[in-house]
Amino acid sequence: MKKILLLLAVFATPFMYSQQDALVFLLDKEDVATSIANPISIMTQEAIDRKALQNTTIDDRDVPVNEAYITQLKNTLGISVHAKSKWMNAVYVRGSQMDIDDLLGEDYVSSVEFMDKSLNFRSITGATPDKFAIENQQSKITYNYGAAANQTTMLKVDYLHEQDFNGDGMVVAVLDSGFPNVINNPAFSHIVSDGRLLGTYDFALRQENVDGTGSHGAQTFSDIGGFISGQFVGTAPEASFYLFRTEFGPSENPVEEAWWVEALERSDSLGVDVVNTSLGYRGYDNSAYDHSYEDLDGQTTIGARGANHAFDKGMILVTSAGNGGSSGFPFVGTPGDSPGMLTIGAVDSDGDYVSFSSIGPTIDGRVKPDVMAQGRNAAVVSSNGNVTTSNGTSFSSPIMAGAVASLWQARPEVPNAQIMQVVRESAHLFNNPTDRMGYGIPNFEDALNNLLFLEQKTSY
């Protein structure tokens, strides 16, 4: 608790604005050739096996950041280190503009990118929204058998389960703001007792405990892996899981994007197949750090760049489109703008678009969101084990993530790009996508049948 209060104080103080946040890109890595030749030194055997199965190349991006360089940064007066990315070979730091600029004189630093875009090219302003405002409007109700029936049958995920594709053997990482009481929650007792909770980590506080801030993560987790006999079933109840806390709820700062990329990198090195992220970023407490619509091109933000690397490394990334559809900025935020991300919007129980769901297209004209799932009155399990409902694309995303994991179980050798396309092509608006609903609501019965008879391509 003391650590959380201390971190909150740091984020809340006006002194924050005399400091700057930046990515420091490093010049090189050490022992690259040796590490690639002996990949077990930098990742698990599960990760190596997954990459081999899907013909994903192990390359210099998989080699960790040079720890000697990180030590030098930590020992630099006025500089604090908050995150690192092996894929970008970069470190997220905080310090005065002068101290960060001085890093360019170090022989191991190749470039610096300030989060305040005016220090690079321009300044963007705007208000910081509460990204969980929709989700926090919950109504507790009493369910009979099949509380999650509508959100499951809408996608025909029940057909996957009838064919014994329920996530068994698949590994899912859930990246969110907090997972309190997961060990004691009856919805996850089957996962814990089976040894399928493979690990946890809080990237903000650098600890194994992932209680975090709020219970948002526990609820999103339930839509994938939750199971309470006679009351609730997630879309991939037999999958194995990692829980990673990357979001600091009381404030908004782009360091959260950097923590998120770190979690992706760890997920890849651990052999994760599917990642769910019920988070999105555009506006920050310091408006100088805000992302403009022009930034959301799938290539510019830290989140989008990290997502693109993760996609290239063979994982399927699923994320919520966001809840800004009725706001002054209705467009999908980052990392949902990434072309390597399966971005999920929200519909109601009848399959109709709900007004809070963020829309497309991206600034470069791509279809976003990709597909839709139930996000109004979605069934979830609370952190105390009660079945209830909640609203938000935060829940349409994990419903879809579990469905994707269960589908991929049928043919795990098929590369991520092809699985994602099979899902898109099964959706009811595939031939006529819209800005609100993308390609529409997938049909996983059709997706499975198409996947089982798919001739696997050798290149993409």
Q: Is 176 annotated in the active site?
A: yes
| Identified catalytic residue from 394, 396, 406, 426 | 394
| Identified catalytic residue from 116, 176, 202, 223 | 176
Q: Is 394 annotated in the active site?
A: yes
- 3-state SS of the chain is CHHHHHHHHHHHCHHHHHCEEEEEEECCCCCHHHHHHCHHHCCCHHHHHHHHHCCCCCCHHHCCCCHHHHHHHHCCCCCEEEEEECCCCEEEEEECHHHHHHHHHCCCEEEEEECCHHHCCCCCCCCCCCCCCCCCCCECCCCCCCCCHHHHHCCCHHHHHHCCCCCCCCEEEEEECCCCCCCCCHHHHHHHHCCCEEEEEECCCCECCCCCCCCHHHHHHHHHHCEECCCEECCCCCCEEEEEECCCCCCCCCHHHHHHHHHHHHHHHCCCCEEEECCCECCCCCHHHCCCHHHCCCCCCHHHHHHHHHHHCCCEEEEECCCCCCCCCCECCECCCCCCEEEEEEECCCCCECCCCCECCCCCCCCCCCEEEECCCEEEECCCCCEEEECCHHHHHHHHHHHHHHHHHHCCCCCHHHHHHHHHHHCCCCCCCECCCECCCCCHHHHHHHHHCCCCCCCC
Q: Is 358 annotated in the active site?
A: no
| Identified catalytic residue from 161, 216, 291, 309 | 216
As annotated, the active-site residues are 176, 216, 394
